[in-house]
Amino acid sequence: MIRRRFLTFPLAFALAFALGGSRMIKPIGSDILHPRFVYDTAHHQRLAHEADSLPSVIISSQAAGNAVMLGAGYFSPLEGFMNLADALSVARSMTMTDGRFFPVPLLCLLESTDAIAGAGRIALRDPNVEGHPVLAVMDVAAIEPVSDEQMALLTEKVFRTLDLEHPGVKAFHSQGRMAVSGPIHVLSFSYFQNHFPDTFRTAVEIRNEIQERGWHRIVAFQTRNPMHRAHEELCKMAMEAVNADGVVIHMLLGKLKPGDIPAPVRDAAIRKMAELYFPANTVMITGYGFDMLYAGPREAVLHAYFRQNLGATHFIVGRDHAGVGDYYGPFDAQTIFTDEVPPGALTIEIFAADHTAYSKKLNRVVMMRDAPDHAKDDFVLLSGTRVREMLGQGKAPPPEFSRPEVAQILMDYYQSLN
């Protein structure tokens, strides 16, 4: 089902760029976005009808998330999944064989291609929706096997480890070794649109709303967790530092590793915080459909890539951004922008942040690097494990750590697990 707001796309899209596109940061590699979702109703219906008779394959959850991101314009100007040569080139240098910039290989990996052998056009089916409806139609450019050596190169360059205990590596290696590539025509935003109607937004929609709000300098904040007091204050620090009109809190709505808090709970907690503790017209609560990679530095660059596409001028990259365990150094996700990203590839500016915490000395949240005279005990610091224990026991963390209204939502969730 196409929601009503998408049927008005041609007018809204044209209006956004005609009235203010020139004043907004440009998308990557183009003056306008190139979303792969088929917005034209007649064309959408024709493709959906055609897809019923096409050879089809159920793709991985990671590939489905990538299709949603392509459809939503976040990966603009890419048209579809990469062939093996482009994926290997991106892994080595963050550029495709034609020189275009992209931070991570974008592959559609399958265990078997028997069902689509010899087909020039296929239907990609959604693994995350009951009945596996068609997610997209692909014009097949190539079907290629990925060797062990190539898989190792892709893994090592993107994740900086070959350890299968790394959740991103494990998910990547679980998909299969046959790469099918080609441009796609997206027909659905999977479950994200229906499960998160108030939060899921395309890059096109966010650009339009930024334009409607009259914002010119915009900070983007990435989160896969609920936002505690330190996250809230970090957004405000960044906004003040760059004189921003507002912040786009852009939460991941896709699959996470076991133990992470589900998206609906995060959504409710973040909305409550924004409602009570941010001034009017300074925050947008939005989300995107994508499975977390936990790829640390490379994923931080990908995060910056699609935040530029949604219209942000600045992006917060914090300590151990997009990391997991001890696989990455605390600031690797910041140094990659100066050490490895090709010059001129990104226009968006990085706001490099340190760990933030409440200072007992100063009675406010500060970046720890800005308080060199503080000892560890001068901050209100709680481990994630300790916070989860407290919430599960119905005990709210101290208000210096978490807003009480946010803590209540999280307590209700953790106690529901008992």
Domain-embedded: residue 391: no
For residues 265 and 226, is the Cβ–Cβ distance under 8 A?
yes
Q: Per the structure, how many domains does the chain have?
A: 2
pLDDT tens per residue across span 8-54: 344 344 344 433 445 899 999 999 999 999 999 999 999 999 999 99
Domain-embedded: residue 418: no
pLDDT number for residue 11: 39
221 lies in the same domain as 127: no
In single-letter form, the type of residue at position 22 comes to S
Compute the CA torsion angle 309, 29, 291, 326 (nearest 10 deg): -100
pLDDT number for residue 277: 97
Active-site positions? 224-225
Tell me the three state secondary structure of residue 183: strand
CB neighbourhood size of 143 (10 A): 20
pLDDT tens per residue across span 378-401: 999 998 889 989 998 999 999 999
Query: Alpha-carbon distance 177 to 174, whole Å?
Result: 9
242 lies in the same domain as 371: yes
Chosen domain end from 123, 158, 190: 190
Domain-embedded: residue 392: no
183 lies in the same domain as 211: no
For residues 212 and 288, is the Cβ–Cβ distance under 8 A?
no
Query: DSSP label at 115?
Result: G
pLDDT number for residue 303: 98
In single-letter form, the type of residue at position 350 comes to I
Backbone angles phi, psi at 65, to 5 degrees: -65, -40
Q: Degrees (nearest 5) of the Cα angle 151, 90, 315? A: 120
Q: Is the peptide bond before 35 cis (omega within 30 degrees of 0)?
A: no
361-366: long-range pairs with CB below 8 Å, 24+: 364/233, 365/229, 365/230, 365/232, 365/233, 365/234
Q: In this structure, what CATH number is given to the domain that contains residue 260?
A: 3.40.50.620
Chosen domain end from 162, 190, 218: 190
Query: DSSP label at 139?
Result: E
146 lies in the same domain as 245: no
Query: Alpha-carbon distance 21 to 15, whole Å?
Result: 9
> Which two tokens mark 131?
């009945």
pLDDT tens per residue across span 168-179: 999 999 999 999
228 lies in the same domain as 211: yes
207 lies in the same domain as 258: yes
The size of the chain, in residues, is: 418
43 lies in the same domain as 172: yes
Chosen domain end from 190, 207, 230: 190
186 lies in the same domain as 232: no
Domain-embedded: residue 390: no
Scanning the structure block, which residue is given the tokens 């196409």?
2
pLDDT number for residue 241: 97
Domain-embedded: residue 401: no
Q: In this structure, what CATH number is given to the domain that contains residue 121?
A: 3.10.400.10
185 lies in the same domain as 204: no
pTM of the model: 0.93
186 lies in the same domain as 217: no
Scanning the structure block, which residue is given the tokens 């056009």?
121
Domain-embedded: residue 274: yes
151 lies in the same domain as 282: no
Sheet bearing 246-252, strands edge to edge: 283-288, 246-252, 218-223, 314-317, 349-352
Q: Comparing C-alpha atoms, which of 244, 219, 216 is closest to residue 351?
A: 219
For residues 202 and 72, is the Cβ–Cβ distance under 8 A?
yes
Query: Alpha-carbon distance 111 to 127, whole Å?
Result: 14
Tell me the three state secondary structure of residue 270: helix
| Enclosing H/E stretch for 122 | strand 121-125
Query: Alpha-carbon distance 227 to 249, whole Å?
Result: 10
Domain-embedded: residue 1: no
60 lies in the same domain as 135: yes
Domain extent, residue 331, equals 199-381
Query: Alpha-carbon distance 15 to 243, whole Å?
Result: 26
pLDDT tens per residue across span 349-382: 999 999 999 999 999 999 999 999 999 999 999 9
For every one of its 418 residues, what pLDDT tens digit does the chain have, with 9 covering 90 and above?
333 344 334 434 434 443 344 589 999 999 999 999 999 999 999 999 999 999 999 999 999 999 999 999 999 999 999 999 999 999 999 999 999 999 999 999 999 999 999 999 999 999 999 999 999 999 999 999 999 999 999 999 999 999 999 999 999 999 999 999 999 999 999 999 999 999 999 999 999 999 999 999 999 999 988 999 999 999 999 999 999 999 999 999 988 778 788 888 999 999 999 999 999 999 999 999 999 999 999 999 999 999 999 999 999 999 999 999 999 999 999 999 999 999 999 999 999 999 999 999 999 999 999 999 999 999 999 988 899 899 989 999 999 999 999 999 999 999 898 7
For residues 56 and 133, is the Cβ–Cβ distance under 8 A?
no
Domain-embedded: residue 25: no
Tell me the three state secondary structure of residue 142: strand
> Which two tokens mark 221?
């904040």
